[in-house]
Amino acid sequence: MSLQDILSKHIIEAVKTVYKQDLVSIEFQATRKEFVGDITVVIFPMLRIVKGNPVQIGESIGQYLVDNVNEVTGFNVIKGFLNLEIIDAFYVDFFNKIVTDTRYGFATPKPEDKAVLVEYSSPNTNKPLHLGHVRNNLLGYSVAEILKASGKKVYKTQIINDRGIHICKSMVAWKLFGNNETPESTELKGDKLVGNYYVKFDQEYKKEIQDLIDQGQTEEEAKKNTTILKSAQDMLLKWEAGDEETVSLWNKMNAWVYDGFDTTYKNLGVDFDKLYYESETYLLGKEFVTEGLKTGVFFKKEDGSVWCDLTDEGLDEKIVLRSDGTAVYMTQDIGTAIQRVKDFPDVGGMVYTVGNEQEYHFKVLFLIIKKLGFDWAKNLYHLSYGMVDLPSGKMKSREGTVVDADDLIDEMASTAGEISQDLGKLDGYSDDEKQELYKVIGLGALKYYILKVDPKKRILFDPKESIDFQGNTGPFIQYTYARIQSILRKANVDTTVLLNAEDVSMHEKEKELIKQIQLFEEVIQNAASNFSPALIANYTYDLVKEFNSFYQNVSILGADTDNEKLFRIQLSKVVANIIKNAFGLLGIQVPERM
């Protein structure tokens, strides 16, 4: 039973005994550093039920707890805050329960619980992954891992947007200007090669528009009348009609892109349990639109287009099928969601990791699925996140001004190398060891910088700022982990031996560290329920700050007694384990030495 559970039970008894009133819940918070105490009870919320002076109420409850609860040794009341002092033995007993538990804080799934499916990445096959995709992948992967740690069964997936006019633009440009070049002949990753032709299409499209304007057309007329755009539109019609040559080129160029994506995902350290393709799921979406027409979920307009009326829900009418019978994004998303539950019948909810510009789209999608009668619709969640900006400005795929994900990963490793060499931290490493460590530090810096920010907030990403060995950064935390490993190597003791409470003379810094360790289980649950890796990241930083304060104020290997030395080494080992596990939830590696 947790300390809060123990105290809640007795506080409810105290109020019942002294004031003859029934409390339902108790609000706790950490005791502020300037006051004596280990945990604080907030009295003010009780005033709705218990009438009286908050200081007097706090005094009464505090005295009751001292008299009746072994764990409480003293108290003080500051205004409406009851600060409780907890016996050292409580913290030692707690610590003994977790000291050998390498998975402390992680819950085990219950067989009867429904699974959660987490979608992330979901790129278009007309360009390589960029910095925006990096935030998406890191968020989705981390949320999936955190949900697992909280006790959920999780499936990781993506929907690859492999059809539509944007795909055809790359194909047309390659046919016109490609001279049959391939990833092998150019020594380019396939997604980069195809992305170059997407940029080339836009360049040629703009040239044609200007030529037509010079010939006397308006800008709007020129945009519609370019031959290159008409070629892309014709190609899309041919693809949807199953034209053999078009489908063959589509398969070939998409295969190049998939190979490129796989390399990037491996470098980024993310994976998937199942891939879905828009070219396959949009057909199922069309089937359910037909079913929905029969049941009145959708209606048809005079031009033959099919719509869903959501005005009763405060939204508008939403098209689900064009007048020519072709699908829109909504059609595909309906089909994809339904297909996923067919594939994984134990799924009871889904998390969609998609940028905040799509918030309206997902409100509509979730409502439509609900109207189609699927009970799991109530457990659909849009993990909406802000964009990533650079000091140099906004990224644009069509103009080729995006920050390529592969280039960014390489740049982070290179920057980590420069900073590490300047600091002289890697003396005695071989060149291969250094290069591997630069990757771990660089990627850790990138992931931590992005994940420590609340998903809803926009990020201004500065690579050099992220690779700092001081402050709230990935390398600072990695360095602390490596420092602890060095202590453990030097200690060379059996850390599985348990100490009795009377064998430990608890230092204030040891108690503060254990209190921070205690929070880990709750932080995982909160991070899962809020879909927020930032809670894990910032908890880990707080833990590391607490450890460094302990390290600076208490001698570990030079402790006065063997028991003190053993206890402090055990504390260090548990902290290192939590750092490793917490960073694992963020997809970040920790080096054994730095």
Are 588 and 536 contacting, i.e. CB atoms less than 8 angstroms apart? Answer: no
Q: For position 401, what pLDDT does the model report?
A: 53
Q: Which residues pair with 39 in a beta bridge?
A: 84
Residue after which a domain boundary falls, among 66, 86, 106: 86
Strands 28-29 and 274-277, how do they pair? unpaired
CATH label of the domain that carries residue 46 = 3.30.1360.70
pTM, full prediction: 0.91
Q: Report yes or no on 92 lying in a domain.
A: no
Q: For position 392, what pLDDT does the model report?
A: 64
d(CA 76, CA 59): 8
Residue after which a domain boundary falls, among 389, 413, 439: 389
Nearest to 466 by CA among 480, 452, 479, 455: 452
Q: Do both 222 and 129 map to the same domain?
A: yes
Cβ atoms within 10 Å, residue 191: 27
- Below-70 pLDDT ranges, the chain: 392-402, 424-425
Question: 3-state class of 225 per DSSP?
Answer: helix
Q: Report yes or no on 24 lying in a domain.
A: yes
Structure-token pair, residue 143? 């949320």
Q: Do both 61 and 120 map to the same domain?
A: no
Q: Do both 161 and 240 map to the same domain?
A: yes
Q: Report yes or no on 303 lying in a domain.
A: no
Structure-token pair, residue 63? 């005295």
Q: For position 396, what pLDDT does the model report?
A: 47
d(CA 576, CA 590): 10
E-strand stretches of 394-551: 459-460
Q: Report yes or no on 315 lying in a domain.
A: no
Are 288 and 330 contacting, i.e. CB atoms less than 8 angstroms apart? Answer: no
Ramachandran class of 460: left when φ > 0, alpha when ψ lies in -120 to 50, beta otherwise: beta
Q: Report yes or no on 394 lying in a domain.
A: no
Residue after which a domain boundary falls, among 389, 420, 435: 389
Domain count within the chain: 3
Q: Which domain holds residue 454?
A: 405-585
Cβ atoms within 10 Å, residue 436: 15
Q: Do both 442 and 577 map to the same domain?
A: yes
Q: Do both 426 and 538 map to the same domain?
A: yes
Q: For position 594, what pLDDT does the model report?
A: 81
Q: Do both 558 and 431 map to the same domain?
A: yes
Q: For position 394, what pLDDT does the model report?
A: 47
The one-character DSSP state at 187 is T
Q: Report yes or no on 437 lying in a domain.
A: yes
d(CA 539, CA 519): 9
Q: Do both 430 and 566 map to the same domain?
A: yes
| Angle, vertex CA 128, rays to CA 126 and CA 131, nearest 5 | 130
Q: Do both 347 and 425 map to the same domain?
A: no
**pLDDT tens track for 304-318:** 999 999 999 999 999
Q: Do both 492 and 344 map to the same domain?
A: no
Q: Do both 152 and 186 map to the same domain?
A: yes
d(CA 131, CA 218): 36
Backbone angles phi, psi at 258, to 5 degrees: -60, -40
Q: Do both 74 and 125 map to the same domain?
A: no
Q: Report yes or no on 245 lying in a domain.
A: yes
d(CA 86, CA 419): 44
Q: Report yes or no on 428 lying in a domain.
A: yes
CATH label of the domain that carries residue 242 = 3.40.50.620
Burial 554-564, CB ≥16 within 10 A → b, else e: bebeebeeebb
Structure-token pair, residue 3? 């300390």
Amino acid at position 498, single letter: L
CATH label of the domain that carries residue 496 = 1.10.730.10
Strands 28-29 and 72-78, how do they pair? unpaired
E-strand stretches of 257-408: 274-277, 299-300, 306-309, 317-321, 347-355, 380-385, 388-389
Q: Do both 453 and 524 map to the same domain?
A: yes
